[in-house]
C-alpha cells in the first residue's frame, strides 16, 4: 500500500488511533491484575495483542454507525470511545457502570456511542447486527453496522443464517471476523476445510476480504475505508477477516498450555502498538517522547478508572427488578 495514502491521515487522527490502542492494552492489563486480586467478578477475556484489528476498523466508520461485539469485546468497546470510568465500574459490578453493574465484562454496551453490546453467546451478536442493519435500511439512515466476532463463531449456525439473510435483503452490515487462530484451545485450521473463513462469502453471493496483517492498524483502516464506502453505497453486506493473535489465554481461567512459548513470543514480536509506534516516528509524524507521553496519559486514565470503580456503590437489591423489559 502506498505510503502517500497513509500520510493523508491527519496527525491528530493517527495519534488518536495510537492512544486508543494504548488504552485497550493498558486497560486490559490492569483488569488482569484486578482479576488476580479477586476484585473482578465473572469471566474476562482480553484483547491484548489484537488492538489494531479493532481500532483500525472502527476508525473507518462515522458517528451514527453501530457495532455489535462479542465476549472478547474490550477492544471494540474502547475503540468506540466508551467512558473508561463507567466501563471499569461495569466490569467490577458497580452501580455506576454502563449497565449499572448488571452485565460485567462480557455484556458491556454503550448505546449512546453506537455500541449495541458485547455478548457472552458465541455468534450472539450476529442476529442483533442483522436486525440493526434492517432498521437502518428501512429508516434510510445511511448508517451501517459492523458485526465483530471471532474465528470460532464462523462454525455457528447463526453465522450462515445471518449472512444469507443479510445477502438476500441487501443489508448495510459488515461481518468482521477477527481470527486469532484459536477457538479457545482449538486451532481454527483443524475445524475448517478451507484456508480462511472469508472465503465462505462466495456461498452467499457477497464479497469476501482478507487482511493478512491484522496487527497493522493502517492496513486494517485502509481496507475498512474501502469496505465501509461499498456497504454505505447500498451494495449490501461484506465478510472480512483479519489475522491477529491474543497474547493471553482465551480467558483468565485458561493458562494456554495448548500453545508453545515460542509461538507466543514470535507473535509478540509483531506487537501492533510497537509496529505503529515505529511507523509514526520513522515517518516523522511524531516523536518518541510524544508517544511516551500518550502512554503515560493512558495509564493515568486507567488508574483513575480503577479509583472511580472502587469508590462507586454496589447496585441496590431493588435494582435487580429494574430494566427487565421496556413497556
pLDDT of residue 327: 60
Domain regions of the chain by residue span: 10-34+44-312
- Greatest CA separation found in the chain? 58
- For CA atoms 309, 313, 314, 318, the dihedral sign is negative
Residue 46: phi, psi to the nearest 5? Answer: -100, 155
Q: Considering the domain delimited by 10-34+44-312, tell me its CATH architecture.
A: 3-Layer(aba) Sandwich (3.40)
pLDDT of residue 6: 59
Full DSSP string of 108-122? --BGGGTB----SST
pLDDT of residue 8: 82
pLDDT of residue 42: 84
pLDDT of residue 3: 41
- Other Cβ atoms within 10 Å of 283 Cβ, number: 12
Q: How far apart are CA 179 and CA 267, in angstroms?
A: 14
- Coil, strand or helix at 147: strand
Per-residue confidence of the chain (327 residues) as pLDDT tens digits?
334 345 689 999 999 999 999 999 999 999 999 999 999 988 899 999 999 999 999 999 999 999 999 999 999 999 999 999 999 999 999 999 999 999 999 999 999 999 999 999 999 999 999 999 999 999 999 999 999 999 999 999 999 999 999 999 999 999 999 999 999 999 999 999 999 999 999 999 999 999 999 999 999 999 999 999 999 999 999 999 999 999 999 999 898 999 999 999 999 999 999 999 999 999 999 999 999 999 999 999 999 999 999 999 999 999 888 888 766
CA 309 from centroid of its chain's CA atoms: 22
- For CA atoms 199, 203, 209, 214, the dihedral sign is negative
Amino acid at each position: 500500500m502506498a505510503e502517500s495514502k497513509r500520510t493523508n491521515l491527519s496527525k491528530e487522527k493517527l495519534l488518536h488511533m495510537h492512544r486508543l490502542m494504548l488504552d485497550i492494552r493498558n486497560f486490559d492489563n490492569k483488569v488482569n491484575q484486578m482479576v488476580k486480586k479477586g476484585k473482578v467478578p465473572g469471566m474476562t477475556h482480553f484483547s491484548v495483542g489484537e488492538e489494531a484489528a479493532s481500532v483500525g476498523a472502527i476508525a473507518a466508520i462515522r458517528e451514527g454507525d453501530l457495532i455489535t461485539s462479542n465476549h472478547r469485546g474490550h477492544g471494540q468497546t474502547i475503540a468506540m470511545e466508551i467512558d473508561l470510568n463507567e466501563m471499569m465500574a461495569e466490569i467490577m459490578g458497580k452501580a455506576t457502570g454502563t449497565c449499572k453493574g448488571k452485565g460485567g465484562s462480557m455484556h458491556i454496551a454503550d448505546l449512546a456511542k453506537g455500541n449495541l453490546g458485547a455478548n457472552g453467546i458465541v455468534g450472539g451478536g450476529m442476529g442483533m447486527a442483522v436486525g440493526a442493519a434492517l432498521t437502518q435500511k428501512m429508516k434510510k439512515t445511511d448508517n451501517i453496522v459492523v458485526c465483530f466476532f471471532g474465528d470460532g463463531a464462523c462454525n455457528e449456525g447463526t453465522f450462515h443464517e445471518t449472512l444469507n439473510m443479510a445477502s438476500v435483503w441487501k443489508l448495510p452490515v459488515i461481518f468482521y471476523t477477527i481470527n486469532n487462530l484459536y477457538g479457545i484451545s482449538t486451532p481454527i485450521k483443524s475445524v475448517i476445510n478451507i484456508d480462511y473463513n472469508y472465503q465462505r462469502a462466495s456461498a452467499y453471493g457477497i464479497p469476501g476480504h482478507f487482511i493478512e496483517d491484522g496487527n497493522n492498524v493502517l492496513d486494517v483502516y485502509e481496507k475498512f475505508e474501502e469496505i465501509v464506502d461499498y456497504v454505505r453505497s447500498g451494495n449490501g453486506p461484506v465478510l472480512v477477516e483479519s489475522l491477529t493473535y491474543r497474547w493471553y489465554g482465551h480467558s483468565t481461567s485458561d493458562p494456554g498450555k495448548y500453545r508453545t512459548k515460542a509461538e507466543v513470543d514470535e507473535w509478540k514480536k509483531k506487537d501492533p502498538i510497537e509496529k505503529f509506534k515505529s511507523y509514526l516516528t520513522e515517518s516523522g509524524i511524531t516523536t518518541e517522547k510524544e508517544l511516551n507521553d500518550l502512554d503515560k496519559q493512558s495509564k493515568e486514565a486507567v488508574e483513575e478508572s480503577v479509583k472511580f470503580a472502587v469508590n462507586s456503590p454496589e447496585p441496590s437489591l431493588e435494582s435487580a427488578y429494574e430494566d427487565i423489559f421496556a413497556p
